[in-house]
Structure 1
């Protein structure tokens, strides 16, 4: 959407004069989302949330910006915060308002009322990124080539791929890159968002998503948050996975593969499992460079920053850069002159950002050790051993 740059400039001037005003930042974040600048929108939304963690519009802006950046894990966290911050008489979702009785403790779904129409699935996007844009993850690329990319060239493709690993390590970005590699469309179905009080609505969302992917074929369909799928929706997913959707390449993503229904992982369904690990040093350097691209910087050493961030996810690194940018902004406001992001600011933010993947590996270790049926977590156990985790 076109946004008048003079309006954005005026808001930025007002914020420089009154940096503690969250309303100004929320307004600017909304405009930046519409103008296609989600990174700056997220920065302003975060500052606003620092003043008011329950600010509904700031949470909406942060969620929409994270989605536009392709960070589905971060977008999901803001979506959940949005629900928690909304009125207790219902659950707030960006696309839907469902009124509930606060005294009713049952979880029985209602029938879909006459005339109710679920939102149509979005049009497939055409990603311009490919696996060459994915920093590191050479093992993941090799597995994807063997499981998904090579078979279509021999016209023998069937089945799908389940990507799993710590949050924020790029599962959604990798799925989008696969679509770019195949010169295909890309659709994402966040299964967490299909949870509904309307009986049959979630199943219809799944049917509509597969139908939309078929119309856009060739198309990669990402089933995100696969562990969150409601039991009554599993049968619908199984039916779609067993159906002949020509030209649809199915990927799924989860942070908790041990919670995925085993029926979904049988042959010719999601029968390939690929571990997406935290970025290696070269990948971390690349992520720092991309996160800093377009920002004013001085004396920054991405190689040293990569060395200091072992175990950090891509989302952790973006958070480090955002935190350093906030320091630079505060310094600019304090002095009245523009101050770039510096190495000391990035190192300060790095020292205060614990790698988020550690907790996931501690949890994953017990599941991989005691629930490794059929060797499905052999690659995870190998990674834990080679990296002395946990």
Structure 2
């Protein structure tokens, strides 16, 4: 066998490792050339993907039946009474090199499962983690206006089915939370699930996106099926602009069909979404496909703003609750952190704790966290929502013809 042909095929396999047919062809040539160990590795790769492939199993048998090269070289050439048959006999007992298959099978206690396949018959459980929320709206610091909006548009109709029926209030559709990053949109979604006593299923881009064609759409379908089977359940779509971005701006056909599948599941085509409450969050609602925000889908919108002064003080107290603090003026800190998001405040507390820890290490004497540590941290930390506000201001000024961002425009005017 020409080694140059084998080397060319090996290079092609390295370039396209998922081409199983090409890999099997290379393995066959390696077996014919007496290079069984190399062939075994390629066939094992194929069997890892397709355990029941007849071609791969046959090639594995051929590669494993011949003697290793070292044994062939060391063993003296013994004359055989009858030359070994290269092909199985009529009774199927011998193969390449005269291997006795019936004798080998008799040494096994039972059937042997395919290579690389777990023989366990236990149910692996659900593919996605559905858990209890564990928090309520009372655990959310500040955001009074947001809580009232959630209560009026989402929670009150759910808690009062008689009144809902009286006023003909429909529960179709979902709720979209939007606003600057780090302001508690995910925490609010968990709190809504806690208020409803429902399970909570957090869906991110990693749960949906897949490299293989059609798999992302199947992931979306499976996520909704898991939510329906766990009803009542809050299905939370995090970073909706990444999962359901504008199809008009996306040239990737896979991303476009994923959005189409998401629209189908939200409409409940072929399935009943009763008991599945869809919440979504995004920092950039203007990048979300408009079809996702039509009536019956994510048609209710709530702006989640950075915490006000009272909320900042409550957030600071929460983050300092389990830390060794001394004479911390949370009111002054709340006043000095105008424009900080909840994540910024958590970072502020973490930085102040680091200063106290390093000082304790340097002096060898443990001390409490004081205002001097916070003053040092405030000198270095700035609000992280500045870039978002620039983008939001442009949207509110030049892309708000429909009035859907009036609440955002009103808040931005106050910030001036």
| Same fold (TM > 0.5) | yes
Q: Residue 202 of structure 2 contacts residue 238 of structure 2 at CA under 8 Å; is this kept in 1?
A: yes
Which residue is 1:283 aligned to? 311
Distance 1:299 1:126 in 2: 37
Distance 1:269-1:338 versus aligned 2 partners, 3 A rule: same
Distance 2:214 2:343 in 1: 35
Q: Residue 140 of structure 1 contacts residue 276 of structure 1 at CA under 8 Å; is this kept in 2?
A: yes
Q: Residue 193 of structure 2 contacts residue 233 of structure 2 at CA under 8 Å; is this kept in 1?
A: yes
Q: Residue 192 of structure 1 contacts residue 228 of structure 1 at CA under 8 Å; is this kept in 2?
A: no
Tell me how far 1:143 sits from its aligned partner. 1.5
Q: Residue 191 of structure 1 contacts residue 225 of structure 1 at CA under 8 Å; is this kept in 2?
A: yes
- Superposition CA RMSD, Å: 2.3
1:361 aligns with 2:389: yes
1:146 aligns with 2:175: no
Which residue, 128, 137, 141 being the options, matches 1:131? 137
Asked which structure has the greater CA Rg, the reply is: 2
Which residue, 370, 394, 408 being the options, matches 1:342? 370
| SS of aligned partner of 1:376 | coil
More strand by share: 1
Which residue is 1:38 aligned to? none
1:313 aligns with 2:341: yes
Task: Compute the TM-score of the two structures, normalised by the length of structure 2.
Answer: 0.64
Distance 1:321 1:291 in 2: 7
- Residue by residue over 1:197-223, the C-alpha shift from the partner in whole angstroms, topping out at 9 and shown as x without a partner, is 111222122112211211221111110
Tell me how far 1:122 sits from its aligned partner. 2.9
Distance 2:238 2:147 in 1: 19
Distance 2:131 2:125 in 1: 17
Distance 1:208 1:318 in 2: 35
Which residue, 282, 286, 289 being the options, matches 1:258? 286
Distance 2:218 2:364 in 1: 55
Distance 2:190 2:151 in 1: 14
Distance 1:376 1:160 in 2: 16
1:163 aligns with 2:191: no
- Residue by residue over 1:222-247, the C-alpha shift from the partner in whole angstroms, topping out at 9 and shown as x without a partner, is 10111012322101110110003111
Please show how residues 14-29 of structure 1 align to structure 2 within 5 Å: none
Which residue is 1:245 aligned to? 273
Distance 1:280 1:138 in 2: 10
Which residue is 1:180 aligned to? 194
Tell me how far 1:344 sits from its aligned partner. 1.2
Which residue is 1:293 aligned to? 321
Q: Residue 123 of structure 1 contacts residue 212 of structure 1 at CA under 8 Å; is this kept in 2?
A: no
- Residue by residue over 1:239-265, the C-alpha shift from the partner in whole angstroms, topping out at 9 and shown as x without a partner, is 110003111110000011100000000
Tell me how far 1:196 sits from its aligned partner. 2.3
| SS of aligned partner of 1:375 | coil
1:231 aligns with 2:256: yes
* Matched length: 279
Q: Residue 120 of structure 1 contacts residue 208 of structure 1 at CA under 8 Å; is this kept in 2?
A: no
Which residue is 1:196 aligned to? 210
| SS of aligned partner of 1:297 | coil
- Residue by residue over 1:80-109, the C-alpha shift from the partner in whole angstroms, topping out at 9 and shown as x without a partner, is xxxxxxxxxxxxxxxxxxx998xxxxxxxx
Tell me how far 1:120 sits from its aligned partner. 5.0
| SS of aligned partner of 2:397 | helix
Structure 1 segments unaligned to the other structure (5+ residues) = 1-98, 102-112
Distance 1:346 1:122 in 2: 41
Please show how residues 69-84 of structure 1 align to structure 2 within 5 Å: none
Which residue is 2:379 aligned to? 351
